[in-house]
Amino acid sequence: MPAALRQITPDDLMPDAEFAQVRKERRTALMPIKRLRRIHLGPHCTFFFECYDTMLFQVQEMLLIEKGGAAQVPDELAAYNPLIPQGTELVATVMFEIEDPIRRAQTLARLGGVEDLMYLKVGDDKIFGVSEDDVERTREDGKTSSVHFLHFGLRPENVAVFRDPATTVIVGCDHEAYAHMAVLSPSTRAELARDFG
């Protein structure tokens, strides 16, 4: 299936009992991929770049845990299919992880609008993430959510530059209260380039 059309369908899903038998080995097989797709940005933020395989496992997990059967499938596909990259984009779940609830609340209260200031710098182009349209992630009082879902749409020329090992690719944030950058390693770039098909 072309990368631009990649979606999970009911035909891709295993019955819960069958998935339960292979769950551990599937999780183990995904670990190296997920490790390459996890980028730490500053002290509290982590980007998890999603793909078909990570989303398929997540759907199977939700079905197994919640035991909703066939009736649950459409909701899970509606939730997770939009996070599968479609040809010339990268899609990330972005999480602010702070264990202490008081510090977490204080930090998130200072980060209103942060979801609009996350970017991918590919060569000279800065590509800002576009939030998934499910819900507003920053409240009226300025407090942002601890989880964001961002799409980074690349033009074909950006994809070519992304694939060029001589180019530096950076994930970053321009928010005044969380200005950080992280350079993608060659192995992470090679893994993410698979999303372009």
What's this model's pTM, rounded to 2 decimal places? Answer: 0.91
- What tens digit of pLDDT does each residue of 12-23 get? 999 999 999 999
- What tens digit of pLDDT does each residue of 48-73 get? 999 999 999 999 999 999 988 888 99
Q: Are the C-beta atoms of residues 192 and 37 closer than 8 Å to each other? A: yes
Nearest Cα residue to 45 out of 108, 101, 100: 108
